[in-house]
C-alpha cells in the first residue's frame, strides 16, 4: 500500500499528515488540498471509541452511526472527527477510510483500574467506566522510549506524560496500558489548558443546588474556562512561563498546581506499572518546556529521579535528559501519533 492520509480533528484544530510506507510523514495544508494528494487509504483519529470499538474499524454507515452515538461521551472531540470524516469521504470517495480510536490502547487496563465504584446499573447498562485517551500518542512514546533505552518494546516500565492542550499520565508495562489519569471522558485527571481535570463530584452538586448552575453551564466551565486558563489567565504554558518570570503570582500558581498534580500522577502510575524505568515527556508542553519538565522532575526526587539541567535545556527531538545517577531515566519523545494511525489503517485495509 502507498501513502496514507491521516486526519486528526481536535476540538479546535484540524491536522493532516501524509504518511509514506516507510513512515515518513509530511503535513498537508487542509482538506481542500486532499484532491491533489494521491493516497491509498485515509486514517481518522477518533477520540472516544466507548465499548463499541475495541479495534480500528473500516468506516461504513453503521460505524459512522456508532461514532455519532458516542458523541455525548466526548462532545468536544467526536463531533469534529465526524465532520472531518464526512468531508474527507466526500473528497476521497474511492479509497477506504479507517477510524482509529484513542481509547484502544487502554483496553488492556485491568478491572481494578477500569472500574468506578458506582452503582452496577451505571456500569453495566450505561457504560460508566474508565476508558482512557491519548492512546495513539502513548503507543508511539512507549515504542520510542524502549528504543532510546535500547530494550525490547515490551520490556521497560514507563510512565508517559502527554502534556499539551489536553494532558494525561499513563502507566505502561509489558507494552500495555496498566492505568491512566483520563477516565470516562477526557476531562478527568490532571489540569489542562482549559479543562479542570479531576474535581470533587460534590462541587458539581453544590453548584447546581446552591448557585443554580445547570449541566450545560457546569460542563462549559469545566471544559473551556478552567485549568491553566482559570488559574493563571492563559491556557498556553509559554505565556504563563513568561508572566511568571515577570512576577505574576497567578501564573506561578498555575504552573505550580499543574506540576504538583502531574508529579503526583507520575507517582501513582509508577505504582500501577510495578515500578518506573523511565518517565517520558511528550506533547506540546512535554516536548518544548524545559521549565515544566524540570519542575515536575524536581518533585520526583523521592522516586530517585534526577534531571541533567544541561541536557534538559539542550534536547531537540527525542532524547534522554536524566542525570547519570538518576534511578529512572527521563526521556523526551516527539509525538508522532499519525504514524500509529497510519499503521492501523494499513492493517485494517490489508486484512
Adjacent-strand bridge partners of 179: 171
Q: Measured between alpha carbons, how far is 274 from 251 in angstroms, rounded to an integer?
A: 35
| C-beta atoms surrounding 312 within 10 Å | 20
Q: Which sequence spans correspond to the domains of the chain?
A: 4-131, 150-332
**150-332 architecture in CATH?**
2-Layer Sandwich (3.30)
347 as an active site residue: the answer is no
Distance from chain centroid for Cα 27? 20
Query: Would the pLDDT of 267 be above 90?
Result: yes
Chain position carrying cell 522516586:
303
Query: Would the pLDDT of 351 be above 80?
Result: no
Summarize the confidence of residues 325-337 as an average pLDDT: 97
* CATH class of the domain whose range is 4-131: alpha beta
Name, in order, each residue with C-beta under 8 angstroms of 205's C-beta and a sequence gap of 6 or more.
none
Summarize the confidence of residues 234-238 as an average pLDDT: 98
Name, in order, each residue with C-beta under 8 angstroms of 119's C-beta and a sequence gap of 6 or more.
none
Instruction: Please give the pLDDT value at position 121.
Output: 98
pTM above 0.85, yes or no: yes
Summarize the confidence of residues 40-63 as an average pLDDT: 95
Query: Would the pLDDT of 314 be above 70?
Result: yes
Q: How many residues does the chain have?
A: 351
Query: Would the pLDDT of 187 be above 80?
Result: yes
The active-site residue, picked from 102, 277, 308, 318, is 102
Of the pLDDT bands very low, low, confident and very high (cuts 50, 70, 90), residue 186 is: very high
HSE, CB side, 13 Å, CA atoms: give it for residue 125. Answer: 4
Please count the helices (runs of H) and the strands (runs of E) in the chain.
14, 12
Query: Would the pLDDT of 297 be above 70?
Result: yes
Q: Measured between alpha carbons, how far is 318 from 305 in angstroms, rounded to an integer?
A: 18
Residues 189-218 have pLDDT tens digits of 999 999 999 999 999 999 999 999 999 999
Residues 128-165 have pLDDT tens digits of 999 999 999 999 999 999 999 999 999 999 999 999 99
Nearest to 171 by CA among 274, 99, 72, 81: 274
Alpha helices in 212-308 (DSSP H): 215-224, 227-232, 237-245, 249-272, 283-288, 290-298
Helix (H) or strand (E) holding 342: helix 337-350
Cell of 239: 505565556
Q: Measured between alpha carbons, how far is 114 from 104 in angstroms, rounded to an integer?
A: 13
Percentage of the chain beyond pLDDT 70 is: 99
Percentage of the chain beyond pLDDT 90 is: 91
Amino acid at each position: 500500500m502507498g501513502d496514507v492520509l491521516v486526519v486528526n480533528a481536535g476540538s479546535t484544530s484540524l491536522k493532516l499528515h501524509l504518511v509514506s510506507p516507510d513512515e515518513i510523514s509530511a503535513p498537508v495544508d487542509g482538506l481542500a488540498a486532499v484532491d491533489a494528494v494521491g493516497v491509498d487509504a485515509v486514517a481518522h483519529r477518533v477520540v472516544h471509541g466507548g465499548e463499541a470499538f475495541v479495534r480500528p474499524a473500516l468506516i461504513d454507515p453503521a460505524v459512522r452511526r456508532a461514532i455519532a452515538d458516542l458523541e455525548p461521551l466526548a462532545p468536544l472531540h467526536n463531533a469534529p472527527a465526524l465532520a472531518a470524516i464526512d468531508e474527507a469521504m466526500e473528497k476521497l470517495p474511492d479509497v477506504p477510510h479507517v477510524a482509529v480510536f484513542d481509547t484502544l490502547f487502554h483496553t488492556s487496563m485491568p478491572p481494578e483500574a477500569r472500574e468506578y465504584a458506582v452503582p452496577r446499573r451505571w456500569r453495566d447498562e450505561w457504560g460508566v467506566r474508565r476508558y482512557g485517551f491519548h492512546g495513539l500518542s502513548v503507543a508511539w512514546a512507549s515504542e520510542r522510549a524502549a528504543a532510546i533505552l535500547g530494550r525490547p518494546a515490551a520490556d521497560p516500565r514507563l510512565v508517559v506524560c502527554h502534556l499539551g492542550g489536553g494532558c494525561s499520565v499513563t502507566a505502561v508495562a509489558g507494552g500495555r496500558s496498566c492505568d491512566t489519569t483520563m477516565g470516562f471522558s477526557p476531562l478527568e485527571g490532571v489540569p489542562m489548558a482549559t479543562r479542570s481535570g479531576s474535581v470533587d463530584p460534590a462541587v458539581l452538586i453544590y453548584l447546581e443546588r446552591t448557585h443554580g448552575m445547570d449541566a450545560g453551564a457546569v460542563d462549559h466551565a469545566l471544559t473551556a474556562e478552567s485549568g491553566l486558563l482559570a488559574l493563571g489567565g492563559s491556557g498556553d504554558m509559554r505565556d504563563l512561563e513568561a508572566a511568571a518570570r515577570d512576577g505574576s503570582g497567578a501564573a506561578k500558581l498555575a504552573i505550580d498546581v499543574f506540576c504538583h498534580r502531574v508529579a503526583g500522577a507520575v507517582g501513582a502510575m509508577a505504582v500501577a506499572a510495578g515500578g518506573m524505568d523511565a518517565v517520558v515527556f511528550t506533547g506540546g508542553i512535554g516536548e518544548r518546556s524545559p521549565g515544566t519538565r524540570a519542575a515536575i522532575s524536581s518533585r520526583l526526587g523521592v522516586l530517585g529521579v534526577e534531571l541533567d539541567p544541561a541536557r534538559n535545556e539542550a534536547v531537540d527531538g527525542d532524547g534522554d535528559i536524566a542525570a547519570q545517577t538518576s534511578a529512572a531515566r527521563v526521556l523526551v519523545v516527539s509525538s508522532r501519533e499519525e504514524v500509529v494511525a497510519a499503521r492501523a489503517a494499513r492493517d485494517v485495509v490489508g486484512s
